[in-house]
Copies of this chain bind each other. A is one copy, B any other.
Amino acid sequence: MATPLYQTVIDTIIARIASGDLPSGAMLPSETQLGSDLGVSQGTARKALMDLEKRGLVQRAQGRGTFVTVRTPETSLFNFFRLRRPDGTLTAPRLVTEEVTRRPATAEETATLHGAPEEVIQIHRVRSVDGRKATYEVSCLPPSLYPGIMERAPLTNALYVLYQQAYSIIITRADERLRAVAAPPEVARALEIPEGAPVMRMRREAVDVLDRVVELRTCHLLNEGMDYFVSLS
């Protein structure tokens, strides 16, 4: 089955964004230029840009051109951090403690993460919301995609922004599974709640623009005065 022409244009642009050749905020060539560069019609170039815009990878500014979407701590937080106060307002989590280590991967991590790594970089963080320790997070990364990340610690509060700016890794989707569980001892200790108290366990696979699983995260979330908000349609 032949790949449609506009899909080839999409793949080419995504590859240039992912390689860092078109960094966050960069202006893309015009439809005419893109068409002539890639040997396709202007209409095909336009269709590709419209698709990329729908996926949130680029943004078109009327009369100014098309730009690679800039992911800021704010947009990243808004899309991927779902805890809200009961009235729906968002409050940013603050970093309380962080430990970055390298350790052997579990069988599940090897099976799921891009490149089937034998070892992972583990980022263990506790964050607070509204002055109360509220999240216990363990993020695991395949080391080959994040060279030198251990030396960068302490890391920025918004990890996805760091992934994009330092490694051109653009998270476009997070698949989450949630479950109510009794707080395990280490979580209870860290969040200063009784062992066995109900907490929400969230497991997330973060997928990047090249459809690779580039991070596995397990969080335990304390729901005292906070809900996990989601809209289905």
Contacts and interface: CB of A to CB of B under 8 A. Distances in A.
Nearest to A56: B233
A53 to B, nearest CB: 13
A183 B80 CA distance: 28
A174 interface: yes
A199 to B, nearest CB: 5
Interface stretch (A109-117, A137-145, A149-157, A223-231): A223-231
Interface in A91-112: none
Contacts of A174: 231-233
A84 B230 CA distance: 17
Interface residues of A, number: 32
A200 B173 contact: no
Nearest to A221: B180
Interface string A173-194: 1111111111000000000000
Q: What's the number of copies of this chain in the assembled complex?
A: 2
Given A79-B233, A233-B56, A233-B79, A228 B198 contact: no
A185 to B, nearest CB: 15
A203 B229 CA distance: 10
A178 B229 CA distance: 6
Contacts of A82: 232
Q: Count chain B CB atoms within 10 A of each CB in A84, A172, A179, A226 and give the residue with the most.
A: A179
Nearest to A204: B232
A90 to B, nearest CB: 13
A173 B231 CA distance: 7
Nearest to A227: B177
Given A180-B200, A180-B221, 13 more contacts: A86-B177, A174-B232, A176-B232, A177-B229, A177-B230, A178-B200, A178-B230, A179-B227, A180-B180, A180-B199, A181-B198, A182-B197, A200-B200
Interface of A: 56, 79-80, 82, 84, 86, 172-182, 197-200, 203, 221, 223, 226-233
